Amino acid sequence: MNAAPLVDAVSADILEVVFTTISGKSETLGTRSSTSPQDLCADIATVFGIPACSQQWLLGDTEVPFRSAPTMADTRLASGSVITVVHDGFAPLLPLPDIFKLNLTSVRQRLHSRCSSAFTILYQIQAKVADNWLYFEPWRKNDHDKLLFDIESGTCSTIRSHWMSGSSSSQHSLGSHNPLQDLVTGWNSPPERVMQDADRFWLVNGGVLDRGEDHVRDAVHRQVDQLDGSEDQARPNYGALLGWFVAPSEHTYEVNVHVPLPLATTSKKNAIVRLLIDQEGRPIRAAVKGSKIGAIHEDIEEYDIVLESRDHLEKPVVPASDD
């Protein structure tokens, strides 16, 4: 049996790429043409200390679009290629602190847009992970609820209020449901960075909407899968509210996430599905899915978001009533 063709095939599948940094550090890394570039990113991170999500590869003065390449063969790099790897300025999303406050405020407040009385204008969340409790207040136009999830006791103490019917208190068992764990796990899971401009939720520099041309507006609006705010909506409906989903700076990044928000009702399962973050990894905007209420609101709504780390938080008390 002639083994030469087999040896040639194996050799052809092997790539040895020289990676170097601006400081002059260099390392030859071996991989296969069938390997995902993301696997090689992990090796580069180990050798050079540049996080996989923050790497930019340059072949001479040309950027190598490795993130859109399924395999190393798709990068068109040859064995022996010399690649300069640099940090592109992207900082990953900051993890949730052990003690934190997290506020999400609908941009409809800032843009002075009308809201349904049942729409959550403000999500106020605070938690102490080590002590296993999470406190949640969803604020609407005329009332708000208070929910204390005590994971240690396995209970949720609730005061629900309605501007017409008043308040009612209750307590129920959490069973296997752990909203604190769901929130923390969703937030701290490695987010997927959005690399293509066409995939972004937030328009940079106002996008084309500032141009005021009807045909351009229509083209942008057609980027969404559904314009009626239905639960199949996959992208923002830019025509729903003038001025929302506009990035405050071009120096921002987007990440795909799935962060379940605590359940205010059993019928709603709202979750953060996209975050806009600054150059330090701080979240500044959030896209919340599951917001559809009547004809006024979209399934994907935009919120301003503020994450605060605290040294100490007292566990709130949810009394039997507000009296």
pLDDT (0 to 100) of residue 225? 39
Listed residue (119, 121, 120) closest to 109, CA to CA: 121
Would you say 306 and 102 are in contact if contact means Cβ atoms under 8 Å apart?
Answer: yes
Q: What is the reported pTM? A: 0.78
220 and 272 in a common domain: yes
Sign of the torsion formed by the C-alpha atoms of 149, 155, 159 and 160 = positive
Tell how many helices (H) and how many strands (E) occur in the chain.
Answer: 5, 16
Would you say 237 and 224 are in contact if contact means Cβ atoms under 8 Å apart?
Answer: yes
237 and 172 in a common domain: yes
Residues in the chain with pLDDT < 50?
1-10, 209-229, 264-266, 322-323
Would you say 155 and 170 are in contact if contact means Cβ atoms under 8 Å apart?
Answer: no
At 216, which helix (H) or strand (E)? helix 214-221
Q: What is the CATH number of the domain that holds 42?
A: 3.10.20.90
pLDDT (0 to 100) of residue 128? 97
| Host domain of residue 231 | 99-309
112 and 58 in a common domain: no
Three-state DSSP at 244 gives coil
Of 46, 63, 87, which one is at a domain's C-terminal end? Answer: 87
At 27, which helix (H) or strand (E)? strand 26-32
Q: Which long-range contacts (CB under 8 A, 24 or more apart) does 239-244 make?
A: 240/298, 241/107, 241/108, 241/111, 241/113, 242/111, 242/209, 243/107, 243/111, 244/107, 244/108, 244/111, 244/302
Would you say 222 and 215 are in contact if contact means Cβ atoms under 8 Å apart?
Answer: no
154 and 61 in a common domain: no
pLDDT (0 to 100) of residue 167? 73
275 and 131 in a common domain: yes
pLDDT (0 to 100) of residue 1? 47
Examine residue 214 and state whether it is found in any structural domain, yes or no.
Answer: yes
Sign of the torsion formed by the C-alpha atoms of 136, 137, 140 and 144 = positive
Examine residue 129 and state whether it is found in any structural domain, yes or no.
Answer: yes
Examine residue 147 and state whether it is found in any structural domain, yes or no.
Answer: yes
Q: For residue 207, what is the DSSP state?
A: G
120 and 80 in a common domain: no
Q: What is the total count of domains within the chain?
A: 2
Examine residue 315 and state whether it is found in any structural domain, yes or no.
Answer: no
pLDDT (0 to 100) of residue 188? 95
Rg of the chain over CA atoms, in angstroms? Answer: 24
pLDDT (0 to 100) of residue 88? 87
pLDDT (0 to 100) of residue 41? 93
